[in-house]
Amino acid sequence: MNKIFLSTVIGLTTLAFVNAAETQNQPEIGKPAPDFSLATGDGSQVSLKDFKGKWVVLYFYPKDFTSGCTMEAHNFQRDLAKYNEADAVVLGVSVDTAQSHKDFCAKEGLNFKLLADPDAKVSTEYGSVMDYKGSKLAARNTFIINPKGELAKVYTGVKPAEHSEQVLKDLAELKKS
């Protein structure tokens, strides 16, 4: 009986956790993407406006060094040449520190920029923040931003394993229109 009760509580907690992240209001497709300026692991600042004229894949993820986030980052890294061919830049955002990003990139061989959003301000602006045990984490959402700086596609509740392939496919379709 206790196992059934505990399973139900864990299931409901997980469901509430997922739904809280997915029911936030993301910026609207066709509208300008919220600008930002965040630190990278190398200490530089990156702003969305730095990429005007390029496609941007802006992905939010919960935490460096966790299994799902590592898988997602590896898949973006694996496909980085395809993103470059598509004239697209990949930017990852989490609430981790710039030092954590530097260590994560070094350990995992990542060659794209991870941006530190420790106060979750940008994550909140993109409707991609969730509360986990009293701490704010970035929710696993992705935004494709067109060369004019407008939102072209929004993904919520991303599944890390196949996400990069789906983004590349959708990016190719968006570029045709």
pLDDT(149) > 90:
yes
- Residue 105 among the catalytic residues: no
pLDDT in tens, 8-43: 333 333 333 443 444 568 899 999 999 999 999 988
Check 33, 56, 69, 138 and give the catalytic one: 69
- How many domains does the chain divide into? 1
Tell me the CATH number at 130: 3.40.30.10
Nearest residue to 50 via CA among 30, 29, 35? 35
For 49, the domain range is: 2-176
Q: What is the pTM of this model?
A: 0.86
